[in-house]
Amino acid sequence: MKEKKVLFVVAQTNFRDEEYFDPKNILEQAGILTTTASISKGEATSVFGKTIPVEISISDLNPDDYSAVIFVGGAGSKVYFENPTAHKIAQEMLNSGKIVAAICIAPTTIAKAGILKGKKATSFSSAKNDLIASGAIFTGKSVEKDGNIITADGPDSAKEFGKEILKALQGST
């Protein structure tokens, strides 16, 4: 699994702790390398006040370098809903046969990127209408996988979300 690299996209402020730390720990324990990206390099601060290093800005990264991208939720993730760079990352990763994952309200970002049309997906209840408006088939499950797209409904599902991403990475080449 060491050849696998996963990109976490967090908001600079108010990303949800469990939705970042739980999947990150699950993937790293399996030997997967992770990189954290945001609007700019430096530091990001979680909902509960934890700071993490941001290694790369989303505008400077190359989607070809990663096996998967995970858009982390939390109130701050709204910054990516209309962000063309975030949309391009999601589109390029999916078009390259890579895994695109999003949790909580972050599925709105990938919905607005146009990649959920006709796909089963889930999200936090407040994002449900955004997904439906973008053509997604909203299931309301805690975690949903449709092809290479994995979505989850929020912090309570963060561990299950991380395990589903790991399973998908283990099954991909």
Q: Which residues contact 74 (CB under 8 A, 6 or more apart)?
A: 10, 11, 14, 15, 16, 17, 19, 46, 47, 104, 105
Output the pLDDT for position 3: 82
Residue 14: CA count within 13 A, CB half-sphere: 10
Q: Is 161 in contact with 103 (CB distance < 8 Å)?
A: yes
Output the pLDDT for position 2: 56
3-state SS string over the chain? Answer: CCCCEEEEECCCEEECHHHHHHHHHHHHHCCCEEEEEECCCEEEEECCCCEEEECEECCCCCHHHCCEEEECCCHHHHHHCCCHHHHHHHHHHHHCCCEEEEECCCHHHHHHCCCCCCCEECCCHHHHHHHHHCCCEECCCCEEEECCEEEECCHHHHHHHHHHHHHHHHHCC
pTM: 0.97
The tens-digit pLDDT sequence of the chain (173 residues) is 558 999 999 999 999 999 999 999 999 999 999 999 999 999 999 999 999 999 999 999 999 999 999 999 999 999 999 999 999 999 999 999 999 999 999 999 999 999 999 999 999 999 999 999 999 999 999 999 999 999 999 999 999 999 999 999 998 54
Output the pLDDT for position 172: 55
The residue to which tokens 């407040």 are assigned: 126
